[in-house]
Chain A
Amino acid sequence: MPGGAGRYESKVAVVTGARRGIGKVIAAHFLAEGAQVVGFARETATLLHDHYVHISLDVGDDEAVRAAFREIGRRFSSLDILVNNAAVLTSQYALLMPTSKAREMVATNFLGTLFVSREAAKLMSRRKYGRIINIGSMAAALEPPGDSVYAATKAAATTLAGVLAKELAGFHITYNTLGVTAYPSDMLEQLPRDKIEAVVATLPLPRFATDDDILNVIDFFASERSAYVTAQTVFLGGVH
């Protein structure tokens, strides 16, 4: 629906990790609802749309992130919504975790979230309006064996959201977290299916998350009406 009327008409949104999985679903949803979307990913675009701009970068590279937001500022002059979705996962017991993989998760999942949020907030602060949403994980709450670093980076990003919610409140920028449960994606396929199903079986609502489960909460946090909702984490599936 290029240019069609929708709930995000005239909004500019940035989605990190927009090439696949949850990020691609969210970016496509924003586009379908009328937004101008800028997607970040390390590789080339998988979305084609008149209102989609793709920037290939590593969110853990702060200089690349700064340059991307300078470009966004020049092209669109404002930013309304940021979804921090980019993440990498290596599931391995801590005693066997390669240091390079641990560093990669910290750089992308935590520092990348900081770098992107910082530059996005500068743009949002010009108009004193913004909605920042982190895609969190049930791993931060459930702390499953094998996900020590991944869970810790997701927990750290949620803590970051809580602090930035306070620092950015004066700019009328809200910052919230959507804690996603197991969602069919390339990332999930790295993990043993029986392990995932065992975790899902323990949830109060024991099933995988759907696109609509995710978009429902994204729409809530991204809404103009949610101006009084910040520093919150909503987990899907009854995780807490």
Chain B
Amino acid sequence: MITGSEVEAIIFAGLAAINAEGGPDEQIEISTKTALFGAGARLDSLQLVSLITDVEVALNTEHGLELSLADDRALERAQSPYATVETLRDYVLELAQGS
């Protein structure tokens, strides 16, 4: 079973890839508290799509998990699973446990 640390590492790698394409003044802090979506979000919509896609791909290629992070369940939550790195990590773990 994938661990929280492993999921965080995947999300951090996705954020690092976004930072690699940004200028010095566009760098996103990489931490579990980083806001990804909604109030205070540090990502634009394109970067969020890119991050979610990268995380899905990495979960599949590195851990054999076939999860869809953008399904009906994600939209039905009172709090978006994409709000922060922490909420995204927890959502991935929840889906992984159910898979």
B interface residue count range (under 10 / 10 to 19 / 20 to 34 / 35 or more) = 10 to 19
- Chain B CB within 8 A of A240 CB: no
- What is the 8 Å Cβ interface bit string for chain B, positions 55-84, against chain A (1 contact, 0 not)? 011001100001010000000000000000
Q: A74 to B49, alpha carbons, bound, how many Å?
A: 20
Q: Are B46 and A171 in contact (CB under 8 A)?
A: yes
Q: A63 to B56, alpha carbons, bound, how many Å?
A: 15
- Chain A CB within 8 A of B53 CB: yes
Chain B residue nearest to A63 (CB atoms) is B68
Q: Are A73 and B68 in contact (CB under 8 A)?
A: no
Q: Are A70 and B60 in contact (CB under 8 A)?
A: yes
Q: Give 19 pairs: A residue, B residue, CB < 8 Å, sorted on A.
A: A66-B66, A67-B66, A70-B60, A70-B66, A73-B57, A73-B60, A74-B61, A122-B53, A122-B56, A122-B57, A125-B50, A125-B53, A126-B53, A126-B54, A126-B57, A167-B49, A170-B46, A171-B46, A171-B50
Q: Are A125 and B66 in contact (CB under 8 A)?
A: no
Which residues of A are interface residues toward B (Cβ below 8 A)? 66-67, 70, 73-74, 122, 125-126, 167, 170-171
B68: A residues at CB distance < 8 A: 66
In the A-B complex, the 4 residue pairs with the closest CB atoms: A170-B46, A122-B53, A125-B53, A70-B66
Tell me the interface secondary structure of chain B in the complex: helix
Which residues of B are interface residues toward A (Cβ below 8 A)? 45-46, 49-50, 53-54, 56-57, 60-61, 66, 68
Q: Are A125 and B49 in contact (CB under 8 A)?
A: yes
Q: A122 to B49, alpha carbons, bound, how many Å?
A: 9
Residue of B49, B56, B68 with highest tally of chain A CB at under 10 A: B49
Chain A residue nearest to B56 (CB atoms) is A122
A67: B residues at CB distance < 8 A: 66
Q: A125 to B54, alpha carbons, bound, how many Å?
A: 9
B49: A residues at CB distance < 8 A: 125, 167
Q: A73 to B60, alpha carbons, bound, how many Å?
A: 10
Chain B residue nearest to A66 (CB atoms) is B68
Q: A171 to B51, alpha carbons, bound, how many Å?
A: 13
Closest CB-CB distance, A153 to chain B, in whole Å? Answer: 22
Q: A122-B53, A122-B56 are in contact. List 16 more A-B contacts (CB 8 A).
A: A66-B66, A66-B68, A67-B66, A70-B66, A73-B57, A73-B60, A74-B61, A122-B57, A125-B49, A125-B50, A126-B53, A126-B54, A126-B57, A170-B46, A171-B46, A171-B50
Closest CB-CB distance, A218 to chain B, in whole Å? Answer: 26
Q: A73 to B68, alpha carbons, bound, how many Å?
A: 15
Chain A residue nearest to B50 (CB atoms) is A125
